Structure 1
């Protein structure tokens, strides 16, 4: 619908009564949204506009914009979310997965045909004909399109996955998306996808309006689609073996929760650690004890909350929990002689698990060796020529000092009356003095001479990772920057930038934080940069970030900025 430019008829601000009506309409159209989420989407005081426009085919559309971005649009009395809204609430609509190469065709106005869907091992979402659905790409849960199901899930399967599956209404990169801030597609933890019999599917994706088949990059000559490996479901928290032993998922999660709890108390928590915040027990100890291939999610257990689980453990007299400050619970005592702890056997990691850990980036990460250097600029080349260095040469501070000292001695510039002073010849004057100083300053102390020289050189740094060639970069070294951003209704998010400089993969860090903090994470392009990504975590998670970067990745604190903004622990 928005594949071509539209014509705007009017753009007006929405008043209070209009906001209340819109909130009621959103609640009715999307009942899965909570009251707080509806209030975030339709704020009470922030700018909210209603834009009436005509699509290129003449359809009258009403668009609601907030903060400069279109968040909802209304067509024939039906309310639809935009991709901007779905990126904030990715589970708002049932999500169907397609291949990345399909996006280009959808943006051009094509509908999505059933042969273009990726069928996960868990099956397709259950929808009825006419239901509103989201379409995402393989490997990323961030929706790229909004469409209406052309048939029910049962009809899709009965048809042998042939025919039109969805009438696509709005896509990422169409003109409605372009009317906003044009933010890039974020990376949201993908759903587990294991296409069944996918290697028997033909490359022809059957896109409506384009009968030509699409050859996926790297495809074989027989026309079969090579499948990528299934992605781990880092958001659902489901056990990877949830049906192997026939136990309900909730029962399995209860067992896993108790296993991680006992494992943490037996091998990680020491008496000196007490009192220990319950959140620290979960985030820093229990998650680390989770077996490879499984994911701990308290919400999927019968306890639902950590506090209820710990109350149960306190009733068994394993631990003692107290609220040492208002709203903050801590473990103040542990009975390490309790039979459940003494009889617990710490599971040995499997051979496969060890192999995965040895090959994984997180487990094998070693902090880089960083050297601060100085590059010779064009206006100082004469000073460094005698030592064999050219423009752009990178030198350590000690090398610069030695070169300057040798130059002064070799050219007899050391003052004979006061050997703490150095006479300035024309080359030194041009290199270190300002224009208004060149006829006023004839001599300088050694320390002042060296300080001025280092200041006028260009800063640079060299990063060396174990087993790799050194990487030289000009400019100042940017530390890992941790900031807190304020969202609507006083909600906070933690934003981390510059991870790539230190060899850290933002997507991997986001996945770890999502698990430990039990909070949603988004990886998106960092503002004002070309290739850098930033990680955004819901809430103030600086404490968890500090533990991850300082204790596990062993990065020196001088390379991390913003750790002082961590929430203050309650008084003991």
Structure 2
């Protein structure tokens, strides 16, 4: 919403006392705050400013007396939903429910992306579609400060089922982020990010544990959960050390369950449920050639992975350390399998003092009537997916951090200066091709220069400033031109610049067109082929370091020499046809592939 500068911003004006009181009462009512909290978020001396986003959507921003935006509304008038800014959320971090995301995702949100479902690590409960939420960076056992504000695109139930159903799509439509153009309006935009805070403990008195070891978290007397219980998370993707099993149901608003204590009979029942689940799923698709299966393989590969993480109807997770046959009434795997064979679920055969499974019966009535449960294997798979996503995100972040971003820019110059002035644009700025196109389209629409007969043509002759901007010396002035040709002519009359930026590093802007790295194979000294690399200095690469790396990589001799007629530019030579090796190294160093020009000139030299 605010990833680009505002299209328009009116003068900041003090908010009348009566309007400020109405706004404070609205904030208190909408967000369930105490009067003193309302005073903190809607202070005396509040100011307002009418704005238009870069998408020309009108809105109002409410600023603190110091000039930091605290609230904003979108839409005509001031009756739209009140949305807190990151500045306001740093004053009261628990103002909104939240979702947390790994650190590599945060720069993407700041860049204007919405939060996707796979990027959610944990979240508050419950969450509804279109609900205002904050987005934080994930920290183990702590809550990071809010870094973005948005509206839910799905419910918390969808997020909880995302891993099992491999759900994709958006989780949050992001409206405003730390470091975006709304944030930069504030005088405190350079302030440090607050430290993560500890998860609050309930203020109410904790009741003694009952016989099952469960404790009740108290309420505030009105049946409402205390802050700690309201902050219980659905944290099934990346459990922190010492936290509950990732497959356990999220803590409710009123109770904090401990692991279920199982009797021997309970363990036997859970193990039987595991076998029924395995018969419904993995075992039902096994071909006859897969049998016989030894008891140990059958147990470890099919029964143990299908163990339930929560007994049916218990509502609390299982202590998996007790979910083993030695804690059951059977005591051994052999006895357990014989009991299942007697029931008709499997078929066994005695072999050298042990048993092997020779057949299974997925069509058994008990199997058909089994209600599937969440298994240990599904939890481990979910955790593995989360870890894989985290690794991929970290690898992508590391790759992105070292990548060079090359942009072609243009500066108003000569005959185009008057047109930029007429379009009310700064003539000292550098503009991208997208910027020039947006300025051109807005100008043409405002002046009504689209040809009435053929829409793709622009009546450049009707506007003096535009006619000057597209004028070519010694050419007949054009009355009308195609839209694409008009844009191209404007760029040709502007001054060419380029920008090279390293992610997280400095930005270098220079006059002139950007030149690619040239990699060419040529024949030298008779019939010996060599690969020559030039133009790499533009991308911040050192000739000696590049030659040294190529010497090791290609196991060939290298040399560095000045380019003929140039004092600063160097040429690196490596023996042999090494185009692929050189190109791969340049890409690994961050040079975009589109800015590498490679050609093999050795063929023409041989003839």
> TM-score range, shorter-chain basis?
0.3 to 0.5
TM-score, reference length from structure 2:
0.32
Question: Larger RCO: Structure 1 or Structure 2 (Cα < 8 Å, ≥ 6 residues apart)?
Answer: 1
TM-score, reference length from structure 1:
0.34
